């Protein structure tokens, strides 16, 4: 559901209860189709068989991740032995301050028994919103987990290249960067934009620039995890979508324009060509950078290169993938696609 229709979730839940249909979903800034974005209506994806699914509330509480690990482990234990790893698809409330820590706990608890994929729900303003639902519950501080078959084959890409300047996040608090190289984070960010990209930056123009010049955490195996700063505080701290571990190596990157990156090429190479509907989550920050026309061009290119007849999905507020070591990774400004077989779009 798009955020503008959040009040209608109760109607959808009531209808599904009356029809005895299982329901699992979330509220996102907008819907995504092959024609672009929509901020009205509802996107329904019907599966031939309902996969294991559960909504967890109170995810900001201690030991919340233990409940998720216990449930997912039970699902995995019930699967026939010898099969390929299933896909643990997760939808988090984007306002969870401990989201990255939760992902790390899931990774430690489940090891390499699953492939990780997922997206963040909520609204673009990052104001608190009940945004995750099943047939009975609509909640914030929540997580929806779905165990999809390995055939879903998730692909997550952003297509960014890396600059030379490297910094260290010397002080952080969850998703807030207090200092870069022991100086106020905003001062360092502003200087780097002028020196490396020729972009003048003020407090008033901060958010208009940050979607075009996000931060990136350099992780193992050359993995790049993008973080878009969304709030500048009075002390010069930068609040990002997703946590930034203290001591992380940070770079500032320029978001590519349409056609400048290999993002769509890499997704198409991974997924192959098929007319199946493509479940697609497109980062709202990426959309802000490219604009509506650029987003439509990129989605059209995605359809063309993958051969998909339809796209079904939403603008997301962060995307989840599996890193080169089999652990979960969290991104901003990325594009997540899955093929879920035997589905119809309506």
Q: What is the pLDDT of residues 276-331, one digit of tens each?
A: 889 999 999 899 888 899 899 999 999 999 999 889 999 999 999 998 788 898 88
* 346: confidence class by pLDDT, cuts 50, 70, 90: very low
Spatial separation of the C-alpha atoms in residues 34 and 313, rounded to whole Å:
10
Distances (CA, A) of 114 to 10, 101, 206, 304: 32, 18, 39, 30
Residue 43 has which token pair? 């996107």
Interval 109-125: pLDDT, tens: 998 899 999 999 999 98
Spatial separation of the C-alpha atoms in residues 89 and 147, rounded to whole Å:
6
Please say whether the beta carbons of 331 and 338 come within 8 A: no
| Helix or strand holding residue 36 (H, E) | strand 36-38
Which of 155 and 256 is assigned the larger pLDDT? 155
Which of 280 and 260 is assigned the larger pLDDT? 280
* 253: confidence class by pLDDT, cuts 50, 70, 90: confident
> Looking at residue 283, what is its pLDDT?
93
> Looking at residue 241, what is its pLDDT?
83
> Looking at residue 345, what is its pLDDT?
43
Selection from 14-18, 146-150, 242-246 with the highest mean pLDDT:
14-18
* 220: confidence class by pLDDT, cuts 50, 70, 90: low
Closest CA relative to residue 43, chosen from 280, 231, 273: 280
pTM for the full predicted model: 0.84
> Looking at residue 243, what is its pLDDT?
87
| Helix or strand holding residue 67 (H, E) | helix 64-77
Strand 138-139: give its sheet, edge to edge: 24-26, 132-134, 138-139
**How confident is the model over 239-245, as a mean pLDDT?**
88
Spatial separation of the C-alpha atoms in residues 114 and 84, rounded to whole Å:
9
Percent of the chain with pLDDT over 70: 97
In 263-327, the DSSP E strands lie at 278-283, 311-316, 319-322
Sorted by sequence, the CB contacts under 8 Å of residue 288 that are 6+ apart come out as 211
> Looking at residue 211, what is its pLDDT?
87
Is the pLDDT reported for residue 343 higher than 50?
Answer: no
Interval 48-90: pLDDT, tens: 889 999 999 999 888 999 999 999 999 999 999 888 999 999 9
Please say whether the beta carbons of 119 and 77 come within 8 A: no
């Amino acid at each position: 559901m798009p955020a503008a229709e959040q009040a209608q979730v109760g109607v959808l839940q009531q209808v599904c209860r009356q029809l005895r249909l299982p329901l699992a979903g979330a509220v996102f800034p907008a819907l995504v189709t092959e024609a672009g974005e929509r901020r009205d209506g509802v996107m329904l994806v019907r599966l031939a068989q309902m996969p294991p699914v559960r909504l967890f509330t109170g995810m900001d509480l201690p030991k919340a991740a233990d409940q998720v690990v216990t449930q997912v482990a039970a699902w995995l234990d019930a699967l026939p032995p010898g099969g390929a790893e299933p896909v643990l698809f997760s939808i988090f409330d984007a306002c969870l301050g401990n989201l990255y820590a939760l992902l790390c706990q899931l990774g430690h608890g489940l090891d390499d028994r699953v492939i990780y994929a997922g997206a963040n729900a909520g609204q673009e303003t990052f104001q608190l919103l009940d945004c995750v639902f099943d047939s009975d519950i609509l909640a914030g501080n929540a997580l929806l987990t779905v165990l999809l078959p390995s055939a879903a084959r998730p692909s997550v890409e952003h297509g960014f290249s890396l600059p030379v300047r490297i910094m260290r996040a010397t002080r952080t608090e969850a998703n807030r960067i207090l200092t870069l190289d022991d100086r106020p984070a905003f001062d360092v960010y502003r200087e780097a934009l002028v020196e490396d990209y020729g972009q003048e930056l003020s407090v008033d123009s901060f958010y208009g620039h940050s979607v075009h010049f996000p931060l990136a955490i350099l992780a193992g195996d050359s993995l790049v995890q993008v973080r878009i700063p969304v709030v500048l505080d009075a002390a010069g701290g930068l609040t990002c979508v997703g946590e930034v571990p203290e001591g992380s190596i940070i770079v500032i990157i320029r978001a590519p324009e349409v056609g400048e990156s290999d993002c769509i090429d890499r997704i198409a190479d991974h997924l192959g060509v098929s007319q199946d509907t493509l479940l697609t989550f497109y980062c709202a920050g990426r959309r802000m950078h490219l604009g509506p026309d650029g987003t439509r061009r990129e989605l059209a290119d995605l359809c063309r290169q993958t051969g998909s007849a339809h796209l079904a999905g939403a603008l997301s507020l962060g995307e989840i993938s599996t890193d080169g070591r089999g652990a979960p990774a969290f991104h901003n400004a990325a594009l997540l696609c899955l093929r879920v077989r035997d589905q119809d779009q309506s």
